[in-house]
Structure 1
């Protein structure tokens, strides 16, 4: 089994965390997305999406982080993806919400737009407007995450037990640290994120990501 990944990739980090936390052996191949290796012929020939991660397991290739997490949890019979139909449905719902609501506005609308040149709009005015729109939407989703999905009592996104939704969600939310977000306005998110960061493998898996966060300290960004 091989995982094509990059250690700062938002979608790669939760898969690597799941593997590390559960002691699952998996070869890793770094695809240097910062140098454009994901656009090279060698990688495009096996993943025309030009994205990471991608998991190879025999003749199976999976190219979506959420699908990879579910597959690995099923393959290794992990309790983080419950078998109970209704509990599993809530995990699936949470992961879909993170991907289609929060990540879209927060990741692409606010964070990536300020970090990566290929996410810039064609004019400064259009770019500033797009970020302002993303900021407004992201604040709305973060408030819903804080008030509704988490609330004051839940240690994890789907209740009392850690699930693959937490692996995925912590990676999405933590990208805010890249631009200096501290989530003080969202105490339940801060508490939950601290719970995930307390996992034994979090520090090692996110070592490179944390280096990028440190390198951005002191820079001015639009934050939530």
Structure 2
């Protein structure tokens, strides 16, 4: 790994959004200091953490004087500052990468997270389940997003044959659907193959990717 003086990541091993950033850091070979914030125990409510992120969510990246929240903003920042081959240096290609990050933020992670919470988190932790209507809407919206992704995946990764940091974000979201009723290789063969391709990378193991479903 390359060492970046002063880089610190406030994370939680079971958080899908924190996983996105850990994946990006692993793909870039960047060393950092992890600070674990246990969301299930409410550690995000501490005032010291709230000063870093008033929304009391992870991840937060500190890089020198910069404190940056929102996982996909962090990914874009890492791409711009350390991206080498993992982030486009052409404006049109960068716009495509950003488009996928925005797609994830608006249309994928929120709905995949609702299904994950219902299938994995609530049963294993005893935390409150989501309302049935919320889960139904999440399923409908995730289905539309998976249909779009299936239609647009033309190669191994989102930006054709080369892995980019945008894949870290979308891949982490898709991992939340493993074992759910939307884990359907018959309907979405390219999406499922893409997800498993990402899970087979060294960065997945290094980032602790399976912790989002292993809450034991």
Q: TM-score, normalised by structure 2?
A: 0.86
**Map of 1:124 onto structure 2:** none
| Residue 103 of structure 1: aligned partner | 109
Mapped partners of 1:168, 1:183: distance in 2: 20
Query: Could you tell me how far apart the structure 1 residues matched to 2:31 and 2:95 are?
Result: 28
Match of 1:62 in 2: 68
Q: 1:33 aligns with which of 27, 31, 39?
A: 39
Q: Is contact 1:111–1:178 with CA below 8 Å preserved after alignment? A: no
Residue 178 of structure 2 aligns to a residue whose secondary structure is helix
Q: CA deviation at 1:194?
A: 1.8
Give the secondary structure class of the aligned counterpart of 1:183: coil
1:139 and 2:143 correspond: yes
CA contact (8 A) 1:62 1:68 kept: yes
Unaligned 5+ residue runs, structure 2?
1-6
What displacement does 1:133 show?
2.1
Q: Secondary structure at the match of 1:29?
A: strand
Match of 2:198?
196
Q: Does 1:71 align with 2:77?
A: yes
Summarize the Cα distance change of 1:80–1:111 in structure 2 as closer, same or farther, 3 Å threshold: same
Partner secondary structure for residue 211 of structure 1: coil
- Residue matched to 1:86: 92
Matches within 5 A, 1:1-224: 1-108=7-114, 110-113=115-118, 115-116=121-122, 117=127, 120=130, 127-147=131-151, 149-150=152-153, 153-177=154-178, 179=180, 181-184=182-185, 185-205=187-207, 206-212=209-215
Distance 1:131 1:207, change over 3 A: closer
For residues 113 and 202 of structure 2, the distance between their equivalents in structure 1, rounded to whole angstroms, comes to 26
**In 2, Cα distance between the equivalents of 1:94 and 1:207?**
22
Q: Classify the secondary structure of the residue corresponding to 1:182.
A: coil
1:31 Cα shift? 0.5
Consecutive unaligned residues in structure 1, runs of 5 or more? 121-126, 216-224
Structure with higher strand content: 2
Q: TM-score, normalised by structure 1?
A: 0.83
> Any conservation in 2 of the 1:146–1:189 contact (CA below 8 Å)?
yes
Task: Verify the 8 A CA contact 2:76 2:98 in the aligned structure 1.
Answer: no
